[in-house]
Each structure stands twice: as structure tokens, then as C-alpha cells.
Amino acid sequence: MLHPYISLPKNAFWRTGVAEAGLYGLSDLWKSPWTLPQDAQFATYGSCFAQHISRALRERKIGWTNGEPAPIGTPESLAKSFNYGVFSARTANIYTAAQLRLLLQMAVGDVPIHEPELWYESAEGFRDSLRPMIEPTPFRTEDDAILSRAAMVRGLRKSVEKSDVFVFTLGLTEGWESASGQPYAACPGTIGGSFDAEKHRFVNYRAAAIREALDDALVLLKRLNPDIHLLLTVSPVPLTATASQQHVLVATTRSKSVLRGVAGEIAEDVAEVDYFPSYEIITGAPTRSSFFAPNMRSVELAGVELVMRHFFGGLDLSGPARHGEEIAETKQADAALAESMDAEALVCEEAILESYNEA
């Protein structure tokens, strides 16, 4: 009697799809379900690993939306120190789906820009609880901090409105919130603010909460751009530290497993959402962990290049062009910013937690 396994392709079986293919023989890991314009524009946000996608798009001259470019005439080194050109707006790393939802709520006007907390840094000034390391030094006044945040929100909104694909890399399930539920970019006291056990709480987001935040984020994205697509990835980079009371290896596996499961389910459920397997390419059995640096956390360049090979190989950019005039305007506005930042200098606030390791 015939059954479904008789007609499956070779890549559906581990022996032929993985073991015999080998790491560099893997094929058909991902194919985009969307036919995008040949001049498609991509907005990139998320955790540290998302920065590789930003750079790869620029290097290949594929449309990367920069909603908040550095002011014209800004030297490259200065633009870099103020985190211009890292993501499509100066959001800094967005580690959790809850953070993404809050930023998009501000972008559509549902949450006032001044509402999320500022952290007072004694005589130094103020840091933004949503992006405490966005500038080399604290903002001198609350007004300065809010003005900078407003510029970021405008850039975020612009990047969504002008893009065909919003790429978001999920990084963590662990996070910190205020007593009222506002997510922070980091635990208060680590890279800004002061920790208060009565006001700040640790949260390890579960699958249902992450799915709810992503569903909400998609609704918000489509309010700004009804034609937007959401492409999810999961960062393969392990946690620097965990506040879960588990061993960091166990906590990392829990975190990445939950994120991968949620990303896969929403991609299966919603036509405008897809999942790209960067996590599997770096951490899967064929690599034997060879793409991790000696610290067993940072991803080596060879691994990044293999991820990007599969990413660009799976894109379908065969649709009619649609952004000609917009691209010309964007190139003119960004003329003062170098095409690529330093390819090795990823900006990862979470890595600062290692400084608290006394071992």
C-alpha cells in the first residue's frame, strides 16, 4: 500500500538531506514564499545577530532601509559611536518581542513617546530605559533624551512604511520590566539606572506571551504598511548570563527552543510571516559547533557567510521594481554615511553582563 513517505524528496530524510550532503552541501533549507520586487527594501531589527543581515544587505547592494541616517557630514567614526547605521533606526538591540511591541506602539501613536521611563544617572544626566547605550554618554536633560527617542520613533515608522520586509531577529526570552509592565532593554543597574527590587522584576517570557507580542507587533506593522512582510529569525548566540536560577547552558537551550517554536508556529499560521533558519545553520548537528569562536558564544565569519549564502539564495526578487524614486532619495540623504560599518564590531549590550562574572 502506498503511503506519504514514498514520494518525499531527498531532503526530507536525515541520511540524504544532512549526513550525506555535509555542511556545505545542504540545500533547500529555505525558500521565501513571497515574490518580492527586484528592488525590494528590507528593514532590519532585533538582537546582535541581526546586524549581520543589515551589513550583508548593504554589501550586496540590496535595498536596506535606513530610516534614521546620521546627519549629513557626520564622520564615519562619530556616526558609529552614536549607533547610526546599525539597525534601520537607532533602536539599539531589541532582544524581546515585548520590546518590539512597545516600540511599534509608540510608532503608531498608541503609547506617548515620553511615557517609557528615563533613568536618572546622578549628575551625568539621563539614559533611555529602551536603549541605555545608544550614545556614548548620558543625555544631559530629560528633553534631550525625549527628543532623541522621538527621532528614533520617526525613523522606525519611516523604515516600516518604506520597506517590503521587516526582518526581526529574536534573541532572548529573559528580560526585565517595571512594576507596571514596561519592558526594559537591560536590567536596571547593569548599564544604566539603579536596581530596586520593589520596582523592577525579572520575567522569562513563555511561548504564549511571546506569540501574543508578535501577533500584536504584526498588527501594528500593518497599520503603518498594509503590504509589509515579517521575516523572523532566531539568534544562535547563547546567553551571556541568566537570572533564571538555572545553569546558563540550560537557560540558553530553554530560551532558544521557545523562540524557535513560536517563530515556526506564527510562520505556519500567517501568510505574511516567514521564518529563516539562521539558528539551525549555526547550531545544527552538521556544524559540530565549528562556527563558534573559542568563547563558544561569538559566531565566526565563516558561519555568518554561510547563513547569508542561504538567505540570499532563498530570496525571490523577481517581481516588478517599485521603489525607484524612493531609493534615489534615500541614497542622496545617506551620502555622508559610509556604505558599511566595521564588519566585526557588533554592538551587544547584553555582553556587558560578563563584567559582573567574578569567576
11-45 pLDDT, tens digit per residue, is 999 999 999 999 999 999 999 999 999 999 999 99
Mean of the per-residue pLDDT values for the chain? 92
Q: Cell numbers 525571490 correspond to what residue?
A: 316
d(CA 314, CA 321): 19
pLDDT of residue 341: 40
Q: CB neighbours (10 Å) of residue 359?
A: 2
The mean pLDDT of 106-115, rounded to a whole number, is 98
Mean pLDDT for 57-68 is 94
Nearest alpha-carbon partner for 53 in 163, 148, 218 = 163
Rounding to the nearest 10 degrees, give the CA dihedral for residues 79, 85, 90, 93: -120
pLDDT of residue 350: 62
Distance CA 92, CA 99 (A): 11
For residues 193 and 127, the answer to whether their CB atoms sit within 8 Å is: yes
- The percentage of residues in the chain with a pLDDT greater than 90, rounded to a whole number, is 85
* pLDDT tier for residue 50 given thresholds of 50, 70 and 90: confident
Least-confidence region, from 74-83, 301-310, 322-331: 322-331
For residues 100-127, average pLDDT: 95
Residue 235: all three cell numbers together: 539568534
3-state secondary structure (DSSP) of residue 141: coil
The pLDDT of residue 343 is 42
**Alpha-carbon distance 214 to 183, whole Å?**
15
Q: Residue 337: which pLDDT band, with cuts at 50, 70 and 90?
A: very low
As a whole number, mean pLDDT of residues 183-188 equals 97
Per-residue pLDDT tens over the stretch 260-309: 999 999 999 999 999 999 999 999 999 999 999 999 999 999 999 999 99
pLDDT band at 336 (very low <50, low <70, confident <90, very high): very low
At position 97, the amino acid (one-letter code) is A
pLDDT surpassing 90 at residue 334: no
pTM, full prediction: 0.90
**Using CA atoms, how far apart are residues 145 and 127, in angstroms rounded to an integer?**
7
The pLDDT value recorded for residue 121 is 82
Q: What pLDDT score does 326 carry? A: 66
Closest to 206 measured CA to CA, from 250, 156, 259: 259
Residues 71-77 have a mean pLDDT of 91
SS3 251: helix
Beta-carbon neighbour count of residue 95 at 10 Å? 26
Is the pLDDT at 223 greater than 60? The verdict is yes
Cell match 527552543: residue?
257
- pLDDT category at 340 given cuts 50, 70, 90 is very low
| pLDDT tops 60 at residue 352 | no
In the chain, the N- to C-terminal Cα span, in Å, equals: 62
Does residue 219 carry a pLDDT above 80?
yes
Q: What is the DSSP letter of 314?
A: H
Q: What pLDDT band is residue 49 in, cutting at 50, 70 and 90?
A: confident
Q: How far apart are CA 51 and CA 45, in angstroms?
A: 8
Residues 218-241: what's their mean pLDDT?
A: 97
What is the strand order of the sheet 165-170 is part of? Answer: 63-64, 41-46, 165-170, 229-234, 273-275
Q: What is the pLDDT of residues 244-259, one digit of tens each?
A: 999 999 999 999 999 9
218 has pLDDT over 50: yes
Amino acid making up residue 243? A
Rg (CA), the chain: 20
* Mean pLDDT on 198-221: 98
Q: Which long-range contacts (CB under 8 A, 24 or more apart) does 59-64 make?
A: 59/339, 59/340, 60/312, 62/312, 62/317, 63/39, 63/323, 63/327, 64/88
Phi, psi of 353, rounded to the nearest 5 degrees: -60, -25
